[in-house]
A and B are shown apart, each in its own frame.
Chain A
Amino acid sequence: MTPLAAILVRDMRIAIRVGGGALIGVLFFVVVVTLIPFAVGPDLPLLKRIGPAILWLAALLASLLALDRLFSSDHEDGSLDLILMSRAPLELVVLAKGVAHWLTTGLPLIVAAPLVGLLLNLDAPAELTLVVTLLVGTPALTFIGLIGAAIAVTLQRGGLLLAVIVLPLTVPVLIFGVAAANAAVVGPAPFGTPFTILCALTLASLVVGPFAAAAALRQEME
């Protein structure tokens, strides 16, 4: 097994075992979406109108939720020392960890999204658009989040700092993700343009995220 496959398999195993964060992320996502109608009232047309935005916001918060333990748990038990020493490029190890994290927390959100979408009265075209935008956009959230997780790796209360660091960086993803998702809900808004930009953001974060996170890890671990 190559080092990267080993990391991928290990991280996914840990996520789905007892104490892992895989299911808690989905639960958090569902709870956040459920809270919105309590606050804005049970007005179905309104909920339908703001539905994609709510789901995107909830997905953003949920994908950040489990990220703060991504590197700090490896730091606390000494695994990160061995990872830093290793021959495998740190950037690729970080990428593998990001992929494992997305597969165990991002992907379940996308599976759950149409179900919670029903609660917000989204119809079939809106659901489909939403799922496609989330599928394309949530990897960007994870990979941007990696940077924050790496910066906060040695800190005791990294969770809050992580959110403060990462949330502003995710603004472009949120803008274009919601814009594309809204295309099927709000009149004749264009889908192609924001969706293409969303794809570009994801591809860019796929490269920038691991490099920046690896650089941050090297600095933090000095």
Chain B
Amino acid sequence: MNQYTISALVANKSGVLTRVAALFARRGYNIESLSVCKTETDAFSRMTIVLNGDDYILGQMMKQMDKLIDVKKIKRVEEDAVSRELLLVKVKTDSATRSQILEISQIFRAKVVDVSIEATILELTGKPSKLDGFVTMLLPYGVMELARTGVTAISRGKTCIQDETDYKEKI
């Protein structure tokens, strides 16, 4: 089982996320994460999807997604692409553990965004594996809740998703 990251420019309309998510569900694709954001143009949103599967599933998923009318461009993100995720984690803290938690945060270059007597909220951006490692280190102290954005990614160099050809333009 491999992991692939796919970027897609989709119409910025209601219902598009449903179409994409429903496509994954009915075709049985296994999605690790999905994030949606605005782009530089109002007309499009950008989706970043992390897929678990093999080359067959990757190929099928990209082609099936490309067929959706609201999907304008789709691209597999290269393995060396810049790929980031943001984590917010609330850790149980008391006077005895606070300094240890701050020490771990420094090692990972996490930011302290909220401190209270019984809890600390930390923010960390990075590759998902780095976030996983950070969370593992915090688990013994008591992770009260956490939120991750899902991966967002962009190709290195000057190649852009806009350079891709929409399947619907080819036929």
Q: Tell me if chain B binds chain A.
A: no
